[in-house]
Amino acid sequence: MDGVLITGVFGSGKSSVAAEITYLLEQRAQPYALLDLDYLGWVADHELGYQMMLRNLAAVAPNYRAAGIGTYVLAYFVRDRDARHGIAQALGVPLRVVRLALPMPDIEQRLASDVTSGRRDDLRDAAESVAAGEGVGVEDVVISNDRPVAEVAREVMSWLGWL
């Protein structure tokens, strides 16, 4: 049993890469669980949301294991090593972390058509996180996400030894 956490700031492509990885796993008939951790703790208060996400992850992970699933693909922006540790502990399996790197101008270009007010705030927060160096150093490997998603997903899987 093992897992990978795809991390990076908003707009770096975490969810897309995670979905592509699970598509490739599915093509090989390998059981997996894909968890976008944002949805496990989506509340107005960031700290409360993080704590809710950890509790919810700890509650659902055993259900996946009981169903025979041993491969986990997670997507979430991990800001520091304490958060990484908390997620690994809640998941309950060895966890490797891949940080997706993409320059802010590329993120802004990708998200130019996403015009909701909340997404504009997320983009501002991403720029602030990049400027502050949040999320840097929590990873086991950094992979550039400036190519087609299928290429990036295959690079992640190759690094994990899943290909």
- Both tokens of 105, joined, read 């101008």
Helix/strand/coil (H/E/C) assignment for every residue in 18-45: HHHHHHHHHHCCCCCEEEEHHHHCCCCC
Q: Which residues contact 82 (CB under 8 A, 6 or more apart)?
A: none
Q: How confident is the model at residue 61 (pLDDT cuts 50, 70, 90)?
A: very high
- Both tokens of 52, joined, read 């809710």
Largest CA distance in the chain: 43
- The fourth-level CATH superfamily of domain 2-160 is P-loop containing nucleotide triphosphate hydrolases (3.40.50.300)
Of the chain, the percentage scoring pLDDT greater than 70 comes to: 98
Classify residue 34 as exposed, middle or buried by CB count within 10 Å of its CB (0-12, 13-18, 19+).
middle
Q: Is the pLDDT of residue 163 over 90?
A: no
Least confident of 29-38, 81-90, 125-134: 125-134
Q: What is the pLDDT, as a whole number, of residue 133?
A: 87
Q: How confident is the model at residue 115 (pLDDT cuts 50, 70, 90)?
A: low
Q: What is the CA radius of gyration of the chain?
A: 15
Element at 61 (helix H, strand E): helix 46-66
Q: What is the pLDDT, as a whole number, of residue 41?
A: 96
Q: Which residues contact 42 (CB under 8 A, 6 or more apart)?
A: 49
What pTM does this model have? 0.92
Q: What is the pLDDT, as a whole number, of residue 78?
A: 96
Q: How confident is the model at residue 114 (pLDDT cuts 50, 70, 90)?
A: low
* CA-to-CA dists, residue 109 to 24, 101, 112, 141, angstroms: 27, 15, 5, 25
CA pair distance 121, 50, nearest whole angstrom: 18
